[in-house]
Amino acid sequence: MPTTTTIGPTQLLIDGQWVDSLEGETFATFNPATEEKITDVACGGKADIDRAVQAARKAFETGAWPEMDARDRGHLLYKLADLIEENADELAALETLDNGKPLSMAKAADLPLVIDCFRYYAGWADKIEGKTIPIRGNYHCYTRHEPVGVCGQIIPWNFPLLMAAWKLGPALATGCTVVLKPAEQTPLTALRLGEMIVEAGFPAGVVNIVNGFGEVTGAALVDHPQVDKIAFTGHYETAQIIMRNAAQTLKRLTFELGGKSPNIVFADADIDAAIEGAHFGLFFNQGQCCCAGSRLFVEESIHDEFVARLVEKTNAQILGDPFEAATQQGPQVDQDQYDKILSYTASS
């Protein structure tokens, strides 16, 4: 691995403290470019989820968080964004090491978007307003928006740090507390982010991070009766399981699920621009994107020319070490994804 890459914490963040799992279990995270082990991280189980949820519930109901002025919550999010910006090169390198995406992409896309996300929601923190509603009679009627409560957040491996920002930003701006479960393939940037959350001064228990696997750690988060909401990004079949299990406790749910997004090219299109767009839409982030342009419909009169030119461009794509400046495409995130993609091409 690059000698300049700092690994950061590898434990669980619960109630403002870095702790081992209660069972002492760990799992390895790997560099997908070399298949070498980077490090071992703590693997949380059901009991660890319970103590993280208890910490989040306490922080939501009785800690400093519910008494904090909305503007002060925004200031903490701004401070977190500043810390991320100050450490952007380190975070980009860590993302590349754990995920395999080209470092140039992590620097140009992932980190700027993470910083923008936290600053955007920091600005919203003191601008969440209700409505005054005219009604019949001499009465005053209004609505007030209140935080949902404890949010369980389960994120994927394709944009690990950005997915954490998308989940954390709105929840924290609105006064919720969080138990975050990173993807088991890519836990390292979420853990480093947790270190910055502590440094920024968020009260203990507001953000808890529990590594682990979906079948145990994620399931325990979904099932826990004191979790008010689950936010999940990932596969639709996992979302179906979450919906069934969350029904037992009537949790609120939000899902962002993958699709098979089509690109449509008509004969009167700017062919050069369409080829660039179709290529980027499919190969951005090694094709590991929820809205990847994985289907292409081309009008018959330009079909052969378009496909030939797109194939030519694809063959010129530079694959290699994601830390090399010339690399345009790094490895898939792990062997399972690599094998799945090859099975699709074999069956087509």
- Summarised one tens digit per residue, pLDDT across range 260-274 is 788 999 999 999 999
Using the predicted structure, report yes or no on whether residue 333 has a pLDDT greater than 90: no
Q: Is residue 325 helix, strand or coil?
A: coil
d(C-alpha 165, C-alpha 67), whole Å: 24
Annotation: CATH topology of 262-347: Aldehyde Dehydrogenase; Chain A, domain 2 (3.40.309)
pLDDT of residue 307: 94
- b/e code 231-262 from CB counts within 10 Å (16+ = b): bbbbeeebbebbeeebeeeebeeeebebeeee
- Could you tell me which residues come within 8 angstroms of residue 252 by beta carbon, excluding any fewer than 6 positions away? 148, 228, 229, 230
User: Would you put residue 332 in left (φ > 0), alpha (ψ -120 to 50) or beta?
Assistant: beta
Q: How confident is the model over 230-268, as pLDDT tens digits?
A: 999 999 999 999 999 999 999 999 999 987 788 999 999
Using the predicted structure, report yes or no on whether residue 184 has a pLDDT greater than 70: yes
pLDDT of residue 2: 57
Output the average pLDDT for the chain.
94
| pTM passes above 0.75 | yes
Using the predicted structure, report yes or no on whether residue 128 has a pLDDT greater than 70: yes
**Domain coordinates in residue numbering, the chain:** 12-128+146-257, 262-347
Q: Could you tell me the pLDDT band of residue 26, with boundaries at 50, 70 and 90?
A: very high
Using the predicted structure, report yes or no on whether residue 3 has a pLDDT greater than 80: no
Whether residue 158 contacts residue 207, with contact meaning beta carbons closer than 8 Å, is answered with no
Residues identified as active-site: 256, 290
Are domains 12-128+146-257 and 262-347 of this chain identical in fold? no
d(C-alpha 273, C-alpha 70), whole Å: 45
Task: Assign domain 12-128+146-257 to its CATH superfamily.
Answer: Aldehyde Dehydrogenase; Chain A, domain 1 (3.40.605.10)
Q: Could you tell me the pLDDT band of residue 293, with boundaries at 50, 70 and 90?
A: confident
